[in-house]
Amino acid sequence: MSKRNIWLRRICQTIFFFLWVFLFWQTAHQDVGPFPPDLFLVTNPLVATLAMAAARVWVSAALYSLVLIGLTLIFGRFFCGWVCPLGTLFDVVGRLWRGRAAVTLKNDRAWRRVKFYFLAALCVGAVAGGQLVYWGDPLVFSFRGIAMGFIPSAESESAFLAFAMLLIIIGLCGVTHRFWCRYLCPLGAFYAVVARFSIFRRRLKGCDSCKAQGYRECQQGCAMGASPKRQGSPDECIRCMSCQGACRLEAPKFIPSLPLPTTREHLMDLDRRSFVFSLGAGAITGVVAVQARSGSDAPWRIVRPPMIADEVAFMALCVRCGQCVRSCPSGTLQPLFLEAGFAGIWTPAITPRVGGCVDNCNACATTCPTGAIPKFGPTRPEKWAVKMGHVMFDPQHCISYAHDAVKPCLKCVEVCPNKAIVVDEASKPARPTRVIYDRCIGCGTCETECRKVVVGQPALVLTNTGAGEPAALVVDPKPKLPEHAGNQEK
């Protein structure tokens, strides 16, 4: 029975891991697959709860997380041992490094408290208005690290930091098995708190304390070091069944335990002074994060994705998962580093040097798990209801104004999706003269094309001026070029 349960868990881990890989691939191919690309994140209770607390808004994804919370109340902390893709990766690395990592660390009991302090700090910080879940949630930083680490056009600093963070956490498996899960993971701490009230619990039936061998077989085989004989192990057990497989008597049993165990078993084994310190640190961090967001507007060159009118609310809701960056078909959404300050790290921004925001696309809104990018349809009236920004035109850098210009360029006029660029048809060659403020939606396509023609500073530069203001849409956005106009040869 024990061997069958272990193999069942491994099969389940494999299925969820490859589902996670498939969803990672599907994020860039919105029309493929029966599952939403953000499935793992919308069912994450930590992401939804902290985003709601920081932004003071309701996030519909919180309803999906109730499923996993309910299952945890029944089966315990099964998510870490059966579902979590990062935990599966830890198990694979642990098997490769078997014998090199310690079973437990010195001061193991004190180390295990750290994840609860981390969770408490994140929660208090979110209540204070500073959402910092992107520093600790395993599903967020694992997707972000892989997505940004393998996007060639991503900003080098932000991509390197995201990928290095993931590699360091995986490398900690060389210190002890599942180091992150045991000592640091706030999501694991959340499930551990809920698991203390679970129905199916581990009990010992017929244990002889391994008297024949002189050591505890169940402890040696546990990836979490949560031996049934250890105090405080109910919240550390991830239901991996390794203790059953290691025990020759199969003494550990997972059975319903009603009524619920004693109140003493529910008490958290935390140091009061350290817990109070973590609460204070979380409150201070949250207040500092709020001040960093609201103290100054985003720099004028930072343009956010469509339909974002409130920079502060966006920063509070965005969990920096990289889903929108991965899904953007033109690659214009790129993660920031410190361009918007430390509080804006890994947030997405339009990057015209890579591409422009294209029509008939709502990939970023579809994949955003918290609603930081509001849901909108791909059609023009829905997507361009408000401006993303405004393009500044400088004729000194336009090649149509060069003293030896014979043919006009007008590439910006051709690609503008809303006929916002005015052309002087009387001049020969025809030249762009200005950008109509109300019509410019800030997609950045004109700057992208201008950069392909102009060497150095482009004539059109995208800014976040007017972001969130209503846009005047043109019914037929196809431009009508002057008869004598042609394309400037590159």
Going by the DSSP 8-state scheme, the letter that residue 433 receives in this structure is E
Q: Which of 265, 297, 317 is nearest to 55 (CA)?
A: 317
One-letter amino acid at 480 equals: K
CB 89 within 8 A of CB 223: no
pLDDT tens for residues 186-241? 999 999 999 888 888 777 777 766 654 545 666 666 778 776 655 446 678 888 88
Tell me the CATH number for domain 384-490: 3.30.70
Helical segments of 221-298, H only: 242-246, 263-266, 272-294
Does residue 476 sit in helix, strand or coil? coil
Q: Region 442-463: what's the mean pLDDT?
A: 89
Buried b (16+ CB within 10 A) or exposed e, 220-239: ebbbbbbbbebebbbbbbbb
pLDDT band of residue 296 (cuts 50, 70, 90) is very low
pLDDT band of residue 392 (cuts 50, 70, 90) is very high
Instruction: State whether the Cα torsion 427-430-433-439 is positive or negative.
Output: positive
Q: What is the pTM for the complete model shown? A: 0.86
pLDDT tens for residues 55-109? 888 887 788 899 999 999 998 899 999 999 999 999 888 888 765 555 667 788 8
The reported pLDDT for the residue numbered 211 is 58
pLDDT band of residue 483 (cuts 50, 70, 90) is low
Distances (CA, A) of 400 to 298, 404, 410, 416, 429: 32, 9, 8, 17, 7
The reported pLDDT for the residue numbered 265 is 52
- Residues 252, 270: Cα–Cα separation, whole Å: 26
- Residues 336, 348: Cα–Cα separation, whole Å: 6
Does residue 402 sit in helix, strand or coil? coil
Q: Residue 4 above 70 pLDDT?
A: yes
Burial of 406 (0-12, 13-18, 19+ CB in 10 A): exposed
> Which residue spans of the chain are classified as CATH 3.30.70?
384-490
CB 336 within 8 A of CB 134: no
